[in-house]
Structure 1
Amino acid sequence: MSGAETARAAETGRGTFEALRGQLHEAATAFAGGPDALEGILLGIVDDVDRALREPLEIFPVCHHSPASALAMARRLREKQPKVVYLELCEDMAPLLTELRNCRLPVAVQAFAGEVKGLPAEWAPLSVVAPITEASAEYQAIAYALDTPGVELVLVDRSSDHVFQWQVRETPAGGAGEPADPDAPPATEEAALHGDAVGVEIGDLRPRFAELEEHLLRHGRVRHWSEWWHQYVEVPLGEAAADHDTYRQVMLLIGSLFRRLAPGDPGRVRVDEDRERYMWTRMREHLAATGADPADCLYVCGAFHAASRVAEFGVAGADTFTISPPSGSTWQHGLIPSSHAAIEAQFGLAAGSVSIAASEWAKNVRRTKVKPYRLAGQAGTKKKAVAKRAPAAASAAPSAEGAAPDRLSGFLRRPPVLDAVDEAELLGWSVEIVRAARRNGYLASTADAIAVFETSILLAGMRDRARPTPYDFQDAAVTCIEKDRVPGRRDVRRLVESMMGGDRIGQVGYDSLPPLARDVHDRLAPLGMKLQQRGVQRALLDIAGQPELERCSDVLWMLRYLLPQGAARPIMGERTLGERSLQESWDLALGTHQRALIELGYEGVSIEQVLEQRLRRTAHAPRATTAAVLGTVEDAVLYLGSHRLADELGTRALEVLATERSVDGAPEVLRRVRRLLAYYRTAAPELPRWVESFVRTGYAHYCTLLPTAFADEEATVPQVAATLGFLFGMEGLALSLGCDRTQLELAVAQSHPEEAAKVALLWAGQVHLGRLSREELRRRCDELLGNPLVVPSYPRYLSGFLHALEPVPQLAEFVVESVSNAFGRLPDAVLLPWLPTLITSLRAGGPGPLPLLIREAGRIFPGRLAELDAWIPPWREAPAAPSPAPAARAAGSVLLRTHRASTDAVARLLGCERNWPPAEVPAGGAAVLTDRHPATGRALEALLSG
């Protein structure tokens, strides 16, 4: 426009709202005692409205998931029939919008980045979601643009990459979102559908000034912001009397009010203004590139951004904003299921507010007879022919000569009216809630329905409302029906939420799923189940009778590893190294966890590829431990059957082991190495090279760390015991691979522990190496029990012996003896406090030492209670009788020679040569032979005498 036209438009607009300006001036003078800052704020709001209305490119302000905005949008689109629709949504999400027709709303458009470049690495993975419901203005604009020939839809908001770029610039320390709203719904499974993603608030409209929101809630007599918005904005704007001009002016007024009263947070203000600069820059670029007429365009944005005061505002704004290049992060896009609860949790709305908005949308559509737009082929609708674009109506956009009249004054003065439609609706609600209460165990009757109806009207009147809202009805239902107890699982408040529409959960159609998700559905097709259906389904796999189901089993086990708990849960059957189940039973909930399955598609084209990538990422993590890397080796063999990948990860485990300087992970390393050795010894012709290298390196590594572990106070007894278990258990294999046993003997000799439990461990190790006899060990324990100063700490020695069963299981008999002596000789003051520690030690040791102790005790102790009194422990029995006298040995020799056939038979069993000398053996020779083998002589003597 020329300068004269601009001036004329300004004068026209000023004249349009002159009456309103006068009223606000008088109000500011009355309330503030004279014109001051309050007058500047109030008149500035009118100037913001005036400026937005005079813009040649029509600005359509909306509120996020507002049925009034959706209704006004549908009405305006049919009147104006714009050729270009500019939408406040991340510009990189445009290709996904055509896939909405394959889904059941609500769903969310998602941008996902698993690996980041140019952004803090600890933020990964990055996720941005924009939820879309049918009762939203943005969906109406999308459906109109995609199904109307010749209409172009242009997304103009910052890209997903810029969302995090600006976050780094403004909040370098951390969080992506704002503090959670106290009225937000609790975190449930449905509320977590968006995960921890950053939400794109399309048309966010809420006071950022806490005192202002508190003032509105208190004077509006409502509990939370959602109720205030419904009562004072949604209901009035949803009426048939609220035309397009009234809607625009009211929304612009609210947006300007919240913007001017927002706290001066420099970071938040800069992000808001940069978003507006970004969007207007993109729109001017598109207008210049296509030559489109601004009068044929429609700009859909939040009312907060519509009342903008940046220099780049408008078609004739300044081109001074430079859009920064994207970072090196790779972004992938897709659709994920959403729900009303997820939207409420993400944007801090009250529980049930989105469901109430959906019911309000349906009521407004019936009341106003406005035909909303809906994508052709959308789930729940019939396919229809694409409508032809109608010619534009005369009231396309306000011009300088004919500005929209002042609708604000009349709207702000008009009181709400309770009409017959609302009264009939309230009656229907009252009857339905009583019916629902009966089904859930409440003793409700027709009288309760009448009470709920009357109480709703009474509560609305007490809150200065002529029209009861769903929130008034909810309070009335709780008061009249619930009374003092909840007989079932649901209280009346939840019943009202369900009656208003409940928590609708969207679904992404098969055609809109990523390749990985479609591949999973195809590979599980032999199960004959509806995998997209929400809830838990039972799958039975008879692999022995139907071998083709083994492939389904492989997929299910991989999904169990990759997806959250509960998506695929085995009921019967297990998968361990070297073993496969012939029958399996699974509980599947892939439809419930569809978002997690879709996000797997961002990481690869098959679940095998994703699993391999995750195993490699875990193994090569900066803080990866040897036990964790060995776990990836086991998983690679278990789920992928890939020996190539297992060898690669095993080599990585060897590298990590060489860098560890403590024995913290020794217990887990020992368990995993034992399992892998048992598997390879039975399933492979020879051990892999990395296993041999790991045993050699581990033997030398733990020999080096053993003295330090015994002396280190932070090293626990189970960790030291596991270190000894690795050394003693792998000793035979290590020696066969070239290791030196002297290194182990030196490590044990250099160990000098001070803790009692570790001292007992060291004694057990010395017994295993032959440096300490059992008689000496028994003598040392007797000395400990006989020393009054050591008796209080004797249980700690016993704890060490219990842990010693891991590396030296042959000491089980001695441990049973030590525990028995402790129970017999320790005073109660020492014994009783130690019993919980004993039980804890046995439980913490897992299935290893306890069965060994039970078996050994069962062998030693009598099997019947009556035999216990006369029973003498083996360690207290009298010493064995001396060897037979020479005369007895001579008699045995005579018996051997007399019965040569029997002697030859015994020699044949023993594998000895039967060469009898021709000459008689002197008596002394037989005595010498019997003296050398006394046990054999006694056995033969008993056999012959019997």
Structure 2
Amino acid sequence: MSGPHESGAFAALRGQLQDAAAAFAGGPDALEDILLGMVDDVDRAVREPLEIFPVCHHSPASATAMARRLREKQPKVVYLELCEDMAPLLTELRNCRLPVAVQAFAGDVDGFPQDWAPLSVVAPITETSAEYQAIAYALDTPGVELVLVDRSADHVFQWDTRGERAPEAAAEDTGSPAEAEAALHGEAVGVELGDLRPRFAELEEHLLHHGKVRHWSEWWHQYVEVPLGDSAADHDTYRQVMFLIGSLFRRLAPGDGARVRVDEDRERYMWTRMREHLTATGTDPADCLYVCGAFHAASRVEEFGVHGTDTFTISPRTATTWQYGLIPSSHAAIEAQFGLAAGSVSIASTEWAKSLKRTRVRPYRLAGQAGTEKSSAKKAGAAKDPGRQVAVPAPESAAADRLSGFLRRPPVLDGLDEAELLGWSVDIVRAARRNGYLASTADAIAVFETSVLLAGMRDRAKPTPYDFQDAAVTCIEKDAVPGRRDVRRLVEIMMGGDRIGQVGYEALPPLARDVHDRLAPLGPKLQQRGVQRALLDMASRPELQACSDVLWMLRRLMPHGAARPIMGERRLGERSVQESWDLALGTHQRALIELGYEGVSIEQVLEQRLRRDAYGPQATTATVLAAVEDATLYLRSRRLADELGTHALRVLATERSVDGAPEVLRRVRGLLAYYRTGEPVLPPWIESFVKTGYAHYCTLLPVAFRDEDATVGQVAAMLGFLFSMEGLALSLGCDRAQLELAVAQSHPEEPSKTALLWAAQVQLGTLSRAELRGRCDALLDNPLVVPAYPRYLSGFVHALEPVPGLADVVVEAVSKAFGRLPDAVLLPWLPLLITTLRSGAAELVPLLVREAGRIFPGRPAALDAWIPPWRTPPAPPAGRRTRSGGHGRQGAALLPAHPATCDAVAELLGCAQGWTRADVPFPSGTGVGLPAVHPATCDAVAELLGCDGAWAVSGSSPSGTALTIRHPATAKALESLLTNT
């Protein structure tokens, strides 16, 4: 291949640039090397035997030039800069509505760090992109071969470093109004054809400043897109301009770093693949077309060209299994992922339609392509100039210098622009009035004139859509936005809006098609975007129960909003007869498609996810129990539930913290209630879980009371597990002494935990309720403890979880605090009490409120005469036993009339002997025979009646004198029950 300076085609341009460099820099220096090097790059790319077609992503000028060149050249092989392993999916584009993205997805990685998973690569394709024109031409033209030559998705991550991924996967907020649509690509790495943008920050800033534009998309539209989109820009001019821009950005890019290494490796990779294909097939390079980004077209690697060196070795792929599919995309998603200005892709779509009308170029579209305007295509084809349809290309060796004339040519104002701008002005006023703005015809005139004025101030021959957008904001929006959309968003909608693609049914993975088939009885069009209402009446149509099962599984697997229940619920042991759902499967089509990468049915995917959650390295006991509940609830799989439950038992035995105790308690209670009501016997795993959990929490209880990191709610949940599961645990062989010993060994220092310990002691019987009330009174009497009293109350409120019977004591403690503390102490103390209860025991406060409602009077009028129960002296036992009727005969006929009942009462009270003994008389008025024969029974009755002491006194005679002496009140009360008074 001849050297770059041997060609005389660009001699004049080299001379001009040398003079310019000398004038600006005062002599030959680095500037001259850069300028002349750019010409050398253009010359080298133009003379390459395999024709290189440089493009820019989503550029109407590139798409128009591509369609024109394909019809002129009719190449037999099209080499395309796209991941080579995505080739089989391209035929499915005809079943989709553009824009869509070709996706490579890997859920399980092998050869990459596990924290990178899942891996995802997307390549968005729009109708206005040059790559779509090449794909449509190659797939619908007989005898044409399409070869993808870029690195595979596996190599994308092989050559990737975490620190260098940010520019490629730029998903930062670009200010797009359609922020929700920016998530259509998820967290995928974006790979697109023709990424052409300055990588030298100072250069981009310089271009934006001197071009009087705000962002790169506007600069490209003004200074590249519009001139190249003109019908006067022929094929050679287009190629040379794009080569020049790519060389400029390439030479001014930073010369080190991983980004440059990856770019050069990609170029070596592509040229190596193309030479391999040419060698294998024997294709003439003159019959081929290489479509790539302008940045890579001006390459200086040794492997460049069909005569380049074969020194690059392509590394093998890793063992990662990749899956491929099509996912919906949108203009907003493309703009957000690749850092483009909001609305730029929509404006490009509008410019594409204008360019087709102006140049009369007939674009390529895949046969049967969904969402294309066939009528407009036919019109474009009918209006096309027959003389331009088949043009004989000039020999590449005779390519002349078109850059000099193009760079010196002044822009020409198209006569149609004035009418177009006038239409824009009328349309934006109409749209503004519909959205609540007080716009009028005068505003339309102002927008028109301001657009022309802004274009003149920015040295533009004609207003661009960006000038019009600024003018509309200035003249209409002013300082207020009355509606939901601002004027800038209205302009974007008017220019085409955010077009959202859709993957057709035939292109969906098997899982997605299965979901659509199983939900077909519901009726709504699930492919349609937006929210649709589905009503399920399982009582009249039992076959809809299968649809309900699918919807509940989709709710568990897909993002929020894809399937949202409005009426009906699914809980353990409960099934709704009627349900109402809001479905948005068309909006969340990407999530449904990615489910198809994990399995062939949603049941399989759900089981895999439950296993992954349960057996993951971060799995806790609560996580595994949640998986057990979901397996029972959604899959109705007793096998999977038993397997996961057995695993939960092993996880519980290895835990040394109590962080998940509240969740464990809630899950176990629910599962126990479900199995007790729906199964004849409890599963063995849950019996073992209760037994192991009882011993486990008894062991951790003293440590948790002392641990500062363990919250009072977590300790209360532990006690709730121990007390609520105590009956089952004891029946399975546990020892209650272990719990008593654990409570005795607990010595908390934090006030809330101290109150919780007192409640546990009351439940165990080692502390009486009277003693607990005394300790609460002592706290209020101690001025040093009063500031910490809210934390004691927080502990008491948490104690309602394990000991709900203490609700009245807690109400009494709070009431005494409000009644006894002075305002100077109470008012500063009250906010602390409220915040403590809200943050620590919000779910238990309703129980406290219900108890207070039971104790306090229901009417304000009764409040003045109301006496709190804790201030009311206890009524005499006789008074409690006396009926409202006469007092003459309280129980005289009890023994002779109901001997069997009296024997049963004696047995319940622990007395083995019967009451009906003929040898023991019951003297009237004394009752002395009862304590002599049944001392244990009398002790039990005395305890029930509230009397202290024992009835059976050592050495007491059958006369019962010890009873009347030591317990006169008890004797009298018992006598009134059993004899005549």
Q: TM-score, normalised by structure 1?
A: 0.93
Kept in 2, the 8 Å contact 1:24–1:43? The answer is yes
Kept in 1, the 8 Å contact 2:891–2:978? The answer is no
Say which of 448, 468, 477 aligns to 2:463.
Answer: 468
Change (3 A) 1:136 1:543: same
The letter for the 1-side match of 2:117 is A
* Residue 858 (structure 2) aligns with: 863
How far apart, in 1, do the equivalents of 2:389 and 2:449 lie? Answer: 48
* Residue 476 (structure 2) aligns with: 481
Kept in 2, the 8 Å contact 1:176–1:198? The answer is no
* Residue 575 (structure 1) aligns with: 570
Output one character per residue of 1:744-800: Cα deviation in whole Å (capped at 9) or x when no partner: 111111111111211111111111111112222222222222233323323322221
Kept in 2, the 8 Å contact 1:541–1:549? The answer is yes
Gaps of at least 5 residues in structure 1 are 1-5, 885-890
Q: Please report the RMSD computed on the Cα atoms of aligned residues, expressed in angstroms.
A: 2.9
- Is 2:300 the partner of 1:309? yes
* Residue 888 (structure 1) aligns with: none
* Residue 918 (structure 2) aligns with: 917
- Is 2:270 the partner of 1:273? no
Say which of 201, 215, 227 aligns to 2:218.
Answer: 227
Kept in 2, the 8 Å contact 1:84–1:154? The answer is yes
* Residue 628 (structure 2) aligns with: 633
- Is 2:602 the partner of 1:607? yes
- Is 2:716 the partner of 1:721? yes
* Residue 614 (structure 2) aligns with: 619
- Is 2:650 the partner of 1:655? yes
- Is 2:124 the partner of 1:131? yes
Output one character per residue of 1:164-223: Cα deviation in whole Å (capped at 9) or x when no partner: 10014xx56875736667856367111211111111031011111111111111111111
How far apart, in 2, do the equivalents of 1:894 and 1:508 lie? Answer: 90
Kept in 1, the 8 Å contact 2:170–2:336? The answer is no
Q: Structure 1 vs Structure 2: percent identity of aligned residues?
A: 77
How far apart, in 2, do the equivalents of 1:704 and 1:895 lie? Answer: 53
- Kindly indicate whether structure 1 or structure 2 has the higher relative contact order, using CA contacts under 8 Å at least 6 residues apart: 1
How far apart, in 2, do the equivalents of 1:536 and 1:896 lie? Answer: 74
How far apart, in 2, do the equivalents of 1:809 and 1:350 lie? Answer: 60
Say which of 10, 17, 33 aligns to 1:17.
Answer: 10
How far apart, in 2, do the equivalents of 1:854 and 1:65 lie? Answer: 64
Deviation, structure 1 residue 547: 1.1
* Residue 642 (structure 1) aligns with: 637
Deviation, structure 1 residue 855: 3.6
How far apart, in 1, do the equivalents of 2:350 and 2:842 lie? Answer: 58
Deviation, structure 1 residue 943: 12
* Residue 283 (structure 1) aligns with: 274
* Residue 166 (structure 1) aligns with: 159
The letter for the 1-side match of 2:257 is P
Kept in 2, the 8 Å contact 1:577–1:679? The answer is yes
Deviation, structure 1 residue 542: 1.2
* Residue 112 (structure 2) aligns with: 119
Gaps of at least 5 residues in structure 2 are 382-386, 880-885, 908-913, 946-969
* Counterpart secondary structure, 1:333: strand
How far apart, in 1, do the equivalents of 2:178 and 2:893 lie? Answer: 93
* Counterpart secondary structure, 1:547: coil
* Counterpart secondary structure, 1:590: coil
Where do residues 365-764 of structure 1 align in structure 2 (5 Å cutoff)? 365-381=356-372, 395=392, 398-399=395-396, 402-764=397-759
- Is 2:828 the partner of 1:827? no
The letter for the 1-side match of 2:737 is T
* Residue 143 (structure 1) aligns with: 136
Output one character per residue of 1:209-267: Cα deviation in whole Å (capped at 9) or x when no partner: 11111111111111111111111111111111110000000000000010001112321
Output one character per residue of 1:872-925: Cα deviation in whole Å (capped at 9) or x when no partner: 3333333554779xxxxxx99998567877556975996998957389655588
The letter for the 2-side match of 1:377 is G
* Counterpart secondary structure, 1:167: coil
The letter for the 1-side match of 2:330 is S
* Counterpart secondary structure, 1:759: helix
- Is 2:44 the partner of 1:51? yes
Deviation, structure 1 residue 336: 0.5
Kept in 2, the 8 Å contact 1:79–1:392? The answer is yes
* Counterpart secondary structure, 1:544: coil
Higher mean Cα deviation, 349-358 or 420-429? 420-429
Where do residues 90-109 of structure 1 align in structure 2 (5 Å cutoff)? 90-109=83-102
Deviation, structure 1 residue 839: 3.5
How far apart, in 1, do the equivalents of 2:649 and 2:894 lie? Answer: 64
Change (3 A) 1:919 1:540: closer
* Residue 331 (structure 1) aligns with: 322
Deviation, structure 1 residue 394: 7.5
* Residue 766 (structure 1) aligns with: 761
* Counterpart secondary structure, 2:398: coil
The letter for the 1-side match of 2:553 is M
* Counterpart secondary structure, 2:181: coil
Kept in 2, the 8 Å contact 1:66–1:357? The answer is yes
Output one character per residue of 1:786-835: Cα deviation in whole Å (capped at 9) or x when no partner: 23332332332222111111111122222222222222222334433443
Change (3 A) 1:945 1:265: farther
How far apart, in 1, do the equivalents of 2:527 and 2:256 lie? Answer: 45
* Counterpart secondary structure, 1:452: helix
- Is 2:182 the partner of 1:191? yes
The letter for the 2-side match of 1:332 is Q
How far apart, in 2, do the equivalents of 1:397 and 1:607 lie? Answer: 58
How far apart, in 2, do the equivalents of 1:394 and 1:421 lie? Answer: 28
Change (3 A) 1:911 1:716: closer
Deviation, structure 1 residue 742: 1.3
How far apart, in 1, do the equivalents of 2:525 and 2:586 lie? Answer: 9
How far apart, in 1, do the equivalents of 2:478 and 2:174 lie? Answer: 23
Change (3 A) 1:506 1:456: same
How far apart, in 2, do the equivalents of 1:382 and 1:419 lie? Answer: 26
Change (3 A) 1:879 1:77: closer
Q: How many residues are paired up?
A: 927
Change (3 A) 1:658 1:181: closer
Kept in 2, the 8 Å contact 1:144–1:374? The answer is yes
Kept in 2, the 8 Å contact 1:416–1:467? The answer is no
Kept in 2, the 8 Å contact 1:559–1:568? The answer is yes
* Residue 213 (structure 1) aligns with: 204
How far apart, in 1, do the equivalents of 2:83 and 2:770 lie? Answer: 80
Higher mean Cα deviation, 46-55 or 861-870? 861-870
Say which of 323, 328, 340 aligns to 2:331.
Answer: 340
* Residue 788 (structure 1) aligns with: 783
How far apart, in 2, do the equivalents of 1:907 and 1:643 lie? Answer: 50
Deviation, structure 1 residue 396: 5.2
How far apart, in 2, do the equivalents of 1:895 and 1:200 lie? Answer: 95
Kept in 2, the 8 Å contact 1:680–1:687? The answer is yes
Deviation, structure 1 residue 457: 1.8
Kept in 1, the 8 Å contact 2:535–2:581? The answer is yes
Output one character per residue of 1:405-434: Cα deviation in whole Å (capped at 9) or x when no partner: 111011001111112222222222222222
Higher mean Cα deviation, 830-839 or 250-259? 830-839
Deviation, structure 1 residue 135: 0.5
